[in-house]
Amino acid sequence: MNGRTAWVRAMRRSVAFLALGITTMASAQTVVKIDPGKSGSRIERDIFGQFAEHLGTGIYGGIWVGRDSKIPNVRGIRSDVVAALHAIHVPNVRWPGGCFADEYHWRNGIGPAAKRTVTVNSNWGGVPEPSTFGTEEYMDFLQQIGSEAFISVNIGSGSPEEAADWLEYMTTTQPTSLEKQRAANGHPAPYKVHLLGLGNENWGCGGAMSPEHYVEQMKLFSHFVRNTNPAQKGGEQMKRIAVGWDSNSKDYTDAVMKAWAEKTGDWDIDAVSLHNYVLDGWPPHLPATGFGEADYAKAIKEAYGMDDKIVHQTAIMDRYDPQKKVALSVDEWGIWLAPTAGSNPGFLQQQNSLRDAILAAVTLNIFMRHADRVRMANIAQMVNVLQAMVLTDGPKMVLTPTYHIYKMYVPFQDATFVPISYDSGTYRYGDKSMPRLDAVAARDSSGQLWLSVTNVDPDKPADLVLDVSGKAIRSADGQLLTADRVDAVNSFAAPDNVKPRPFSAQRQGDRLRLTMPPKSVAVLALRP
């Protein structure tokens, strides 16, 4: 081989590495130690919950197109979206809000569509709310995607009587007037309600209540709103979620937990909520597309801040509940960006990039590390709103980079956390510094060991060596998500721009070596 031929081949190898987002820059190896002989908390599948609010085109156009639509549907629910969501094993869907929940009156959304009440959605864009997607349609949607119900009842403008009637309508088997009404509306069998939100953000859009006033209202609703479905006994009982911290100044958690610890009478809660968005000030102004490394670093740094917020809430809850009977439910979270140009700003429509997928992976990893307390979470939101799984435009649909993270993370649902240690290193940009690597491991019910690794550094690869204590691992294979730029997106014109590809570790003697490209997430099965 002459000198010129060697030079050409070397250049071709460099170009190939760059096309995969990998530089040829040498990096020190990081040993990732995994101890499968030890185990931590169960990673509840409800951590991977979704959120669908009557907001913009999240419901109408995103999930519901109507029975007469030319878009393929089953009883008005669009089939492409159902297929996509079914594939990520959605455990629960929080509905009807959000701020919309504390103005929602459930009777508007039952019965013949032509007779339903049309109102104004004053929270989101001031547009008409036709009520054509109501209780029956929501439950049908859940059945189609294989999910469970998370109902938020109206504490802000509703009453305990209204909420109690709704639960009776959905769950009773007794021949009451509400049971007969449900049967007349097409569903003689009772529905199951897995989770019940006792209001939403009642420190803000849910009524601007003081913590003391909210606690009194919450106790009333918890006492009178009953699930009477006989199939929901024992471990299947409905769980009640009280409103907690907004991650800023209004912290209900202490008041709620104090009332719980001192409770008298027949009321109870199973969780307290935490809402938190990456938004870099108000109004949200981080760009969804066309951003550079400064905005990337700012968002990922803020995402890592979720850990501090969970630690803060856990410390409050531990004072009243050291046995961790009450869960922390992060039932609104995600990145809130500047709205898409030309869209109704009240519709909260935004594009979804590789940055947002990396942010989702980092956040889900934080939840899993706190699985002893964090047992529920809902990303905001499912379709067309904020950090969505899918985007639609008429008959078109595209999967977002965040969707791919949720599909890659399916093996972690109901898995058992496994201790892991490694030197995370540091990624720095300007005055922002944060862990460069973020990894978690878990063992599923079949005994299969899984590893997720995120390299948040947008420029440098990470060279890892896997060290699994007491167990010979012959291979590590799975999927990798990355792209050529941190602001890469999937569009209707280019739907596969950011898409997982097969990925595996390479054997190096008696060890497995893993080279993580810059700005990437991998999920691997470790096989003996």
Whether residue 220 lies inside any domain: the answer is yes
Catalytic-role residue among 103, 137, 179, 332: 332
201 in active site: yes
DSSP state of 63: T
Q: Please indicate, yes or no, whether residues 199 and 103 belong to a single structural domain of this protein.
A: yes
Kindly state whether residues 423 and 408 are assigned to the same domain: no
426 found inside a domain? yes
User: Quick one: 143 and 92 in the same domain?
Assistant: yes
Query: Could you tell me what percent of the chain has a pLDDT over 70?
Result: 95
The reply to whether 382 and 296 lie within a common domain is yes
Class of residue 95 by CB neighbours under 10 A (exposed 0-12, middle 13-18, buried 19+): buried
Burial class (CB in 10 A: 0-12, 13-18, 19+), 176: middle
pLDDT of residue 250: 77
Q: Tens digit of pLDDT for each residue in 429-444? A: 999 999 999 999 999 9
pLDDT in tens, 206-259: 999 999 999 999 999 999 999 999 999 888 999 999 999 987 777 899 999 999
pLDDT at 130: 97
Least confident of 16-25, 110-119, 126-135, 295-304: 16-25
Q: Are the beta carbons of 30 and 466 closer than 8 angstroms? A: no
Q: Beta-carbon neighbour count of residue 27 at 10 Å?
A: 15
Residue 427 lies in a domain: yes
In a shared domain, residues 164 and 255: yes
**Is the same domain home to 389 and 490?**
no
Q: Which domain CATH number covers 195?
A: 3.20.20.80
Predicted local distance difference test score (pLDDT) of residue 235: 82
pLDDT class of 328 with cuts at 50, 70, 90: very high
CA distance 219 to 26: 60
CA distances from 130 to 52, 60, 108, 421 (A): 16, 9, 9, 52
Tell me what the mean pLDDT of segment 424-433 comes to: 97
According to DSSP, the residues that pair with 507 across neighbouring strands are 512
Q: Is 66 left (phi over 0), alpha (psi -120 to 50) or beta?
A: left
Domain range enclosing 326: 44-413
Q: What pLDDT shows up at residue 22? A: 38
What are the φ/ψ torsions at residue 99 (nearest 5 degrees)?
-55, -35
Residue 332 a catalytic site member: yes
Average pLDDT, the chain: 93
What is the rounded average pLDDT of the residues 26-32?
Answer: 80
**198 & 50 share domain:** yes
1 domain residue, yes or no: no
Distance CA 328, CA 366 (A): 13
The total of other beta-carbon atoms located within 10 Å of residue 497's CB is: 17
Going by pLDDT thresholds of 50, 70 and 90, the confidence category of residue 15 is very low
Q: What CATH number did the domain enclosing 464 receive?
A: 2.60.40.1180
Tens of pLDDT, residues 449-508: 999 999 999 999 999 999 998 777 899 999 999 999 999 999 999 999 999 999 999 988
Query: Are 451 and 394 in a shared domain?
Result: no
Residues 6 or more apart whose CB falls under 8 angstroms from that of 519 comprise: 21, 354, 355, 358, 455, 456, 457, 458, 482, 483, 486
Label residue 509 by pLDDT band (50, 70, 90): confident
Which of 413, 428, 445 is where one domain is finished?
413
- pLDDT score, position 27: 57
Q: Domain check: are 49 and 36 in the same one? A: no
Residue tagged active-site, from 44, 129, 201, 302: 201
**Within 10 A of 230 (CB to CB), how many other CB atoms are there?**
11
Does residue 517 belong to any structural domain of this protein?
yes
Question: In this predicted structure, what is the pLDDT of residue 469?
Answer: 84
Structural domain total, the chain: 2
Task: State residue 472's pLDDT score.
Answer: 79
Per-residue pLDDT band for 183 (boundaries 50, 70, 90) equals very high
Task: Indicate whether 8 belongs to any domain.
Answer: no
Residue 13 has pLDDT above 80, yes or no: no
Q: Are residues 278 and 371 in the same domain?
A: yes
Q: What pLDDT was estimated at residue 195?
A: 98
Look at residues 362, 382, 413 and tell me which one is the last residue of a structural domain: 413
pLDDT digits (tens, 9 = 90+) for 40-77: 999 999 999 999 999 999 999 999 999 999 999 999 99
Domain end position, chosen among 358, 380, 413: 413
Instruction: Report the pLDDT value the prediction gives residue 319, as an integer from 0 to 100.
Output: 97
pLDDT at residue 366, rounded to an integer? 98
Is the same domain home to 401 and 441? no
Question: What whole-number distance in Å separates Cα of residue 225 and Cα of residue 195?
Answer: 12
Q: 195 in a domain, yes or no?
A: yes
Locate 246 and state its tokens: 């907004």
| Dist CA 362 CA 359 (whole Å) | 5
pLDDT for position 265: 85
* Residue 16 belongs to some domain of the structure: no
pLDDT of residue 511: 83
- Are 349 and 477 in the same domain? no
